[in-house]
Chain A
Amino acid sequence: ENVLTQSPGTLSLSPGEGATLSCRASMTVGDNYLAWYQQKPGQAPRLLIYGAYIRATGIPDRFRGGGSGSVFTLTISRLEPEDFGVYYCQQYDRSPRTFGQGTKVE
């Protein structure tokens, strides 16, 4: 299976600062079928980015996805209070679908 490794495990930041999250795949993610989700306590993950860089409906442009192949990034410019939570990357190229272990932005 395609193992996704996220770094760092935790980012300690303040509102207004920027964040860069990394997701590295053990195998190439074909067609850049890589998504990012945000999850807050007690809630389901919410789709932010798909196709490595395409923002989902209603996602503000301070969220930017990048990368290709096996290395991907999620950049959040100017953190808003509602952006704090756990972020997961997920590949939907191969079966089984796999998720990274998450990066907590606190």
Chain B
Amino acid sequence: QVTLRESGPALVKPTQTLTLTCSFSGFSFTTSGINVAWIRQPPGKAPEWLARIDWEGDKFYTTSLETRLSISVDTTANHVVLTMTNMDPTDTATYFCARTEFSRGPFDNWGQGMLVTVAS
């Protein structure tokens, strides 16, 4: 059974750096084609794809946030980590991690998501 679970701070202050961890199980990250992505969803709005990392360790970011994002994987611990610098109140959202079985594949398994609020 594939599972993903997000963890990290629920509240960050403006200008701080957010670090989120996606802990996964039920699949091997090094299997050809596997990707884990981060997606966020502001309250009442549509999801927004942020970044993904593939089984070869290649990293991809959404252009508008590329300078603020960093994604990495620890295959021994089965974690994918997302960092986002210089947080702003407009970054308040539920952050999800999700898996695809192929680089060009749908998000077939999602974490439950965690709400991150940016406020002083």
Beta-carbon contact of A97 and B49 below 8 Å = yes
Stretch at the interface among A10-18, A67-75, A76-84, A88-96: A88-96
Chain A residues contacting B62 (CB-CB under 8 Å) are: 96
Chain A: minimal CB distance from B57 (Å)? 17
Residue contacts A-B, CB under 8 angstroms, 26 given? A31-B104, A35-B106, A37-B107, A44-B96, A44-B98, A44-B110, A44-B112, A44-B113, A45-B47, A45-B110, A47-B107, A47-B108, A50-B105, A50-B106, A50-B108, A56-B108, A90-B47, A90-B106, A92-B100, A92-B104, A96-B49, A96-B62, A99-B47, A99-B48, A101-B45, A102-B46
Chain B: minimal CB distance from A23 (Å)? 12
A98 on the B face (CB < 8 A)? yes
Beta-carbon contact of A35 and B104 below 8 Å = no
How big is chain A's contact interface, by range?
Answer: 20 to 34
Take A88-B46, A99-B49, A100-B46 as given contacts and tell me if A45 and B107 are in contact as well, using a CB distance cutoff of 8 Å. Answer: yes
Whose C-beta in chain A lies nearest to the C-beta of B105?
A: A92
Question: A16–B14 Cα gap in the complex (Å)?
Answer: 48
Beta-carbon contact of B104 and A93 below 8 Å = yes
Whose C-beta in chain A lies nearest to the C-beta of B48?
A: A99
Question: A93–B105 Cα gap in the complex (Å)?
Answer: 8
A63 on the B face (CB < 8 A)? no
Chain A residues contacting B110 (CB-CB under 8 Å) are: 44-46
Whose C-beta in chain A lies nearest to the C-beta of B98?
A: A44
Chain B residues contacting A99 (CB-CB under 8 Å) are: 46-49
